[in-house]
Amino acid sequence: MLKDKKILLGITGGIAAYKSVYLLREFVRSGAQVRVIMTPMAREFVGPLTLATLSHHPVYIDFFDHTTGQWFSHVDLGLWADAFVIAPLTANTMAKMAYGQADNLLVTTYLSARCPVFVAPAMDLDMYRHPAVQQNMKILASRGVHIIEPAEGELASGLVGKGRMAEPGDIVAFIRDFFSTEQDLTGKKALVTAGPTYEMIDPVRFIGNFSSGKMGFAIARELVRRGAQVFLISGPTSLDADEPGIDLIRVTSAREMYEQAEKIFPQVDVAVLAAAVADYRPAEQAHTKIKKTGDELLVRLVKNPDIAASLGQKKRPGQLLVGFALETDNEFTNAMEKIRKKNFDFIVLNSLRDKGAGFGVDTNKVSFIFPHGHRKDFPLKSKTKVAQDIVNQIVQLLNSK
């Protein structure tokens, strides 16, 4: 799977850098073409000569080769690669990546790379647990960087815990898995809705919900990874999706989401509606901030368009409509009712009764429910893995339509 793949191996300055030598050798053995970029600090841990010899290519460290005056273009390196694998990733470089700092060739190349980026963090356990590091890792993950989690075990400090860089064999297996997925949605177009909607009461207040957009963004990314072209209509979230293949359309209210979905739906093969759309909106939106007056304030609500139901009515043969149901009780019955009303091909049920499921978190626990009542239950997984299960089901249904 890695034969002739162009892999840019980034090495940062941590003791696990010695393992990068084995990682490089594994990539080369798998038939990949490898170029190495090191941070200046990484040079203290592993010799560029070793890496250049194994990769059959000079190692990039500085922006310039001071002996020849040659300039190394971070843009060219980023465009050359099919995958940028940074292993080990130190807390320092992770922070630079999260905040877009560009003070060495490696992080500058990261900013201009268009290929998938994989990172294998490695650091001491207290550093790894630190909220700043965890926050930075979340930022990177939310931007689509693939995190190859560190393993538990003895660390260079002598402490024991999570922080060891994943073994080179496991990193290669991770990348191989990534590329081995068939591009089974090439030529297909998909619509995904994500995030909450905000229904304005006045210029400073709204009715909204806790959706972060993580579930919908993960689905959009998985569809693109499998070759589809994706229109991602998202309510207000802090997430971004700038990978080629995703056309991100930002909206605020349910009515804006409805308008965009109606426009895009006729041209897609599949629509996945993961957004948490407000069913009602204030009947009137005040143009100025509502002042505190009496003890009560009544806000009259009117019904919003039901995007799913409207698309369900227009669904043409061969088109697939996948819904979500977020429930707190009577999960199965409510999900069945929604399948029927909205003409879904299947619905992804998640319940707020399950720990680690639903809004905001990085995990979800779902069941797929089908129109005749058949169900498939899945254990708690990362939203990325849940997205893979959803897309596998979509591919299976598209192939049988």
Among all residues, which ones are annotated catalytic? Answer: 209
Residue 274 Cβ, how far from ligand PMT at the closest point, in Å? 5
DSSP summary character for residue 227: T
Of 6 and 138, the one with the shorter C-beta distance to ligand PMT is 138
Residue 307 Cβ, how far from ligand PMT at the closest point, in Å? 3
Residue 280 Cβ, how far from ligand PMT at the closest point, in Å? 9
Burial of 369-383, coded b for 16+ CB within 10 Å and e otherwise, reads bbeeeeeeeeeebbb
Of 22 and 378, the one with the shorter C-beta distance to ligand PMT is 378
Of 107 and 308, the one with the shorter C-beta distance to ligand PMT is 308
Q: Strand 246-250 to strand 229-234: parallel, antiparallel, or no bridges (unpaired)?
A: parallel
Is 137 in contact with 147 (CB distance < 8 Å)? yes
Residues 6+ positions from 264 with CB-CB distance below 8 Å: 191, 231, 233, 249
Binding site for ligand PMT (CB under 6 A): 193, 195, 211-215, 254, 273-277, 279, 304, 306-308, 323-326, 338, 342, 350, 358-360
Partnered with residue 190 across adjacent β-strands are 230, 270
Cis peptide bond N-terminal to 88, omega within 30 = yes
Of 150 and 358, the one with the shorter C-beta distance to ligand PMT is 358
Q: How far apart are CA 224 and CA 218, in angstroms?
A: 10
DSSP string of 287-330?
SSPPPP-SS-----EEEPP-HHHHHHHHPPTT-EEEEEEEESSS
Of 45 and 324, the one with the shorter C-beta distance to ligand PMT is 324
